[in-house]
Amino acid sequence: MSKIINYYNQFDEWGRLEREPIEFQVNWHYIKKYMPRTGYVLDNGAGPGKYSMELAKEGYKVTLTDLTPRLVGIAKDKAKELELEG
């Protein structure tokens, strides 16, 4: 497990999705297309939570999980920064 955590600790996933937005935009298009208008979402393997934050902004009740504690910490900080804590 520690090898997996160490691997993902190397990356700035939030920043990557900001710097290279096409992946996020395409995924977000299909997420919105196929999700119900409201509800609960489990974002398992969410990393720093870029998609979770967008879902929360849209009114979904989101639970975020990830194996990497550092990324969960980033997600908590982002939720607080965006006033999405709940």
Instruction: List all residues 6 or more positions away from 55 whose beta carbon is below 8 Å from its beta carbon.
Output: 31, 35, 41, 43, 62
Residue 29 lies in a domain: yes
Answer for the pair 54, 28: CB distance below 8 angstroms, yes or no: yes
Q: Which domain holds residue 31?
A: 2-81
Instruction: List all residues 6 or more positions away from 59 whose beta carbon is below 8 Å from its beta carbon.
Output: 38
pLDDT reported for residue 26? 97
* Structure confidence by residue, pLDDT tens digits, 17-32: 999 999 999 999 999 9
Give the CATH number for residue 59: 3.40.50.150
Residue 47 lies in a domain: yes
Number of domains in the chain: 1
Residue 65: its H or E element:
strand 61-65
Position 16 pLDDT exceeds 90: yes
pLDDT reported for residue 36? 96
Residue 86 lies in a domain: no
